[in-house]
């Protein structure tokens, strides 16, 4: 045992002495020109390393360098600059005075993926007759290294003619084998237009055909979004997919996508290009899609006993940036979206078999299909949304069939005063895409048909019966089971928040109805008059005949929160009695001989 320990001690001393001698005898600055030459020969990139190179022996044998930069051929800005660079080297090649780098680590680096940092062709370079993949030389890595680490850095990304995006806290770990099969781990954050995004990624990369092609797999991508025009709780989730990238055409493709966003789960594929204008095609299927948790304007549930976080207000330093359509990324992309959801939630409504087939041409969105089932009914909402101007312009052709009225009113933040089902065929449009804009700035018309309509907490038939019985004790009516309005139909118009209807007609059991008036959604006012004709009266024959034929006016007006009623039954009866009395008196006068008193009396009876 003593001999083994002694042998190990001697071996350790030899190794330490050898490394010490190696560090003393080999000057790392001798490799500066070698590194610069190798990088330029293999890739054409120009490497600059500032300051003296020095050894670092623990925990790995490394060469430490100061500021460095890497510039593409013909580029006006370097692709990479870093304050510190560390090269982990293999020991044995150093014995023959050869440099073998196992890992490159950059700290506080700036990575520019911009047109200014991209490789440029010389002005007098010959132009090939055509671009093809066969003419491009098959290349591997620009610089063969097994490990690359970038820590606490900044990635600047910008496409030609596009906006610049600064990805901060950029960290990258990349390990590759001899076949250029790599594992990758990346994390970064982005702040733009008062929105924050963070992401972390773990995956695999096949770079055997780099720089022409890349393919790989995203094992797990975690993301989180917060800020302006994003729900208060933010949007966060995960993504996994198979992916590929072609540098010549700037094309990418994602397949076998599994995406989660808050409590929504989607699967599908995506493809597109990053050349201007950018192209993106999405095919998605969702088992559950909760739009209320993904949209900033969705209503928030206020369940009793729910806990609400207290948000401290930050001090106001400057006026917030005004958001407008110029901030939308849809202005710079052509999008094709095919989305289907087994179940979706929008403003508290549960939608089944939801389908959206839409395109976007640099700000002009066309909703070719926007449909689904809602309860026992269904809906379709094709149209266009134009965000190419500062004010969004909307044109929709809604079609509803047998949709429950009360949940729909709740979703539109309107008083839930009606019950029943509605069918509608309309043409609407205006400025703005929010619910408030629709209530104030939209215009259009629609044909409406409703069934089994009831006014919440109001029984029209009962109000008329009791008013008639108070006005006269000669008639009565049985208060049978109220069946509401069995059928109601007519035309309605919308003009900047004022909903008008001139000739609504309906009927129910022992009821005929006519209605006209307006509802001002912006001012929350209404003025509606119903003409109600009831049957089933008993008592005086003349009064029962009158009430069965004469519409009785019921006016509802005022604020939504304090509706006023007017039901002048006694006035209707009085006018009818006066008319009947005049009619009988005229008949009596017709039977009398002519004289001056008769003519004077007839003049008095004239209205």
pLDDT in tens, 89-108: 776 666 565 667 788 889 99
- CA-nearest of 571, 536, 534, 531 to 552 is 531
**CA pair distance 487, 2, nearest whole angstrom:** 105
For position 143, what pLDDT does the model report? 42
For position 455, what pLDDT does the model report? 82
Residues 6+ apart with CB under 8 A from 576: 546, 550
Residue pair 227/196 in contact by the 8 Å Cβ criterion: yes
Question: What's the token pair of residue 22?
Answer: 């190696």
**Residue 481 — very low, low, confident or very high, per pLDDT cuts 50/70/90?**
low
**Least reliable range by pLDDT among 352-361, 467-476, 555-564:** 467-476
Indicate if the pLDDT at residue 463 is higher than 50. yes
Q: What is the pLDDT of residues 366-399, one digit of tens each?
A: 999 999 999 999 999 999 999 988 889 999 999 9
Indicate if the pLDDT at residue 400 is higher than 60. yes
- CA-nearest of 389, 266, 288, 388 to 337 is 266
**Least reliable range by pLDDT among 216-225, 253-262, 310-319, 457-466:** 310-319
Indicate if the pLDDT at residue 597 is higher than 70. no
Instruction: Output the CA torsion sign for 120, 126, 128, 133.
Output: negative
Indicate if the pLDDT at residue 30 is higher than 50. yes
Q: What is the pLDDT of residues 492-548, one digit of tens each?
A: 999 999 999 988 999 888 888 899 999 999 899 999 998 888 887 777 777 777 777
Indicate if the pLDDT at residue 323 is higher than 60. no
Residue pair 99/139 in contact by the 8 Å Cβ criterion: no
Residues 6+ apart with CB under 8 A from 551: 512, 514, 531, 532, 533
Indicate if the pLDDT at residue 585 is higher than 70. no
For position 510, what pLDDT does the model report? 80
Q: Is 541 exposed, middle or buried (0-12, 13-18, 19+ CB in 10 A)?
A: exposed
**CA pair distance 414, 409, nearest whole angstrom:** 5
For position 553, what pLDDT does the model report? 86
For position 355, what pLDDT does the model report? 97
Q: Length of the chain in residues, anyone?
A: 607
Which whole number is the average pLDDT over 20-34? 69
**CA pair distance 84, 151, nearest whole angstrom:** 10
Helix (H) or strand (E) holding 573: helix 569-590
What are the residue boundaries of the structural domains of the chain, listed by start? 2-119+139-295, 398-477+484-581
Residue pair 251/233 in contact by the 8 Å Cβ criterion: no
Share of the chain above pLDDT 90, in %: 41
**CA pair distance 173, 240, nearest whole angstrom:** 19
Residue pair 291/345 in contact by the 8 Å Cβ criterion: yes
For position 303, what pLDDT does the model report? 45
Which whole number is the average pLDDT over 55-75? 84
**CA pair distance 232, 211, nearest whole angstrom:** 41
- Cα–Cα separations (whole angstroms), residue 384 to 265, 381, 393, 425, 499: 27, 10, 8, 17, 22
Residue pair 235/224 in contact by the 8 Å Cβ criterion: yes
Question: What's the token pair of residue 45?
Answer: 């990139």
For position 308, what pLDDT does the model report? 37
Mean pLDDT across the chain: 81
Indicate if the pLDDT at residue 126 is higher than 70. no
**Residue 446 — very low, low, confident or very high, per pLDDT cuts 50/70/90?**
very high
For position 240, what pLDDT does the model report? 95
For position 483, what pLDDT does the model report? 61
For position 567, what pLDDT does the model report? 82
Residue pair 47/36 in contact by the 8 Å Cβ criterion: yes
Distance of CA 434 to the CA centre of its chain: 12
- CA-nearest of 157, 117, 119 to 278 is 157
**Residue 319 — very low, low, confident or very high, per pLDDT cuts 50/70/90?**
very low
Indicate if the pLDDT at residue 15 is higher than 80. no
Question: Residue 31: phi, psi to the nearest 5?
Answer: -90, -5
For position 592, what pLDDT does the model report? 55
Q: What is the pLDDT of residues 200-214, one digit of tens each?
A: 999 999 988 887 899
**Residue 490 — very low, low, confident or very high, per pLDDT cuts 50/70/90?**
very high
């Amino acid at each position: 045992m003593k001999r083994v320990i002694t042998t190990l001690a001697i071996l350790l001393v030899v190794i330490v002495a050898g490394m010490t001698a190696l560090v003393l005898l080999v000057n790392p600055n001798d490799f500066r020109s070698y590194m610069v030459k190798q990088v330029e020969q293999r890739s054409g990139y120009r490497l600059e390393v500032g300051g003296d190179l020095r050894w670092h022996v623990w925990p790995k044998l490394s060469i430490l360098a100061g500021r460095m930069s890497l510039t593409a051929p013909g580029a006006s800005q370097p692709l990479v600059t870093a304050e510190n660079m560390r090269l982990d080297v293999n020991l044995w090649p150093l014995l023959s005075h050869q440099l073998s780098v196992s890992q490159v680590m950059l700290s506080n680096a700036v990575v520019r993926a911009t047109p200014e940092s991209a490789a440029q062709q010389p002005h007098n370079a010959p132009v090939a007759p055509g671009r093809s993949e066969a003419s491009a030389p098959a290349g591997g890595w620009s610089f063969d290294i097994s490990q690359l680490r970038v820590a606490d850095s900044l990635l600047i990304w910008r496409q030609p003619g596009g906006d610049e995006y600064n990805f901060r806290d950029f960290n990258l770990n990349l390990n590759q084998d001899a076949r250029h099969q790599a594992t990758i781990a990346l994390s970064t954050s982005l702040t733009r237009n008062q929105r924050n995004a963070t992401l972390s990624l773990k995956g695999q990369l096949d770079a055997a055909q780099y720089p022409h092609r890349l393919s790989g797999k995203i094992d797990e991508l975690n993301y989180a979004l917060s800020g302006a025009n994003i729900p208060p709780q933010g949007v966060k989730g995960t993504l996994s997919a198979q992916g590929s990238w072609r540098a010549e055409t700037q094309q990418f493709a994602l397949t076998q996508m599994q995406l989660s966003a808050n409590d929504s789960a989607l699967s599908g594929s995506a493809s597109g290009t990053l050349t201007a204008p950018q192209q993106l095609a999405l095919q998605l299927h969702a088992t559950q899609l909760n739009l209320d948790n993904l949209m900033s304007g969705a209503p928030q549930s206020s369940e009793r006993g729910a806990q609400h976080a207290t948000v401290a207000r930050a001090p106001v330093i400057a006026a917030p940036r005004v958001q407008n359509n110029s901030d939308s990324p849809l202005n710079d992309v052509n999008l094709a979206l095919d989305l289907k959801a087994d179940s979706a939630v929008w403003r508290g409504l549960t939608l089944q078999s939801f389908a959206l087939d839409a395109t976007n041409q640099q700000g002009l969105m066309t909703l070719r299909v926007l449909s689904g089932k809602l309860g026992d009914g269904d809906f379709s909402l094709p149209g266009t949304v134009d965000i190419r101007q500062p004010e969004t312009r909307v044109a929709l052709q809604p079609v509803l069939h047998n949709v429950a009225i009360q949940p729909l009113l709740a979703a539109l933040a309107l008083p839930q005063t009606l019950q029943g089902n509605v069918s509608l065929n309309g043409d609407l449009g205006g400025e703005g895409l929010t619910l408030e804009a629709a209530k104030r700035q939209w215009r259009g018309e629609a044909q409406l048909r409703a069934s089994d309509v009831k006014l919440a907490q109001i029984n029209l038939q009962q109000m008329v019966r009791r008013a008639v019985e108070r006005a006269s004790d000669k008639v009565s009516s049985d208060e049978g089971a109220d069946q509401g309005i069995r059928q109601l139909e007519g035309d309605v118009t919308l003009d900047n928040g004022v909903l008008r209807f001139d000739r609504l007609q309906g009927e129910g059991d022992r009821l005929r109805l006519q209605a006209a008036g307006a509802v001002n959604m912006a001012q929350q006012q209404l003025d509606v008059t119903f003409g109600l004709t009831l049957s089933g009266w008993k008592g005086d024959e003349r009064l029962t005949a009158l009430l069965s034929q004469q519409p009785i006016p019921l006016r509802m007006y005022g604020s939504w929160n304090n509706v006023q009623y007017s039901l002048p039954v006694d006035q209707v009866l009085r006018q009818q009695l006066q008319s009947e009395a005049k009619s009988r008196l005229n008949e009596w006068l017709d039977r009398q001989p002519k004289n001056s008193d008769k003519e004077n009396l007839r003049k008095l009876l004239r209205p």
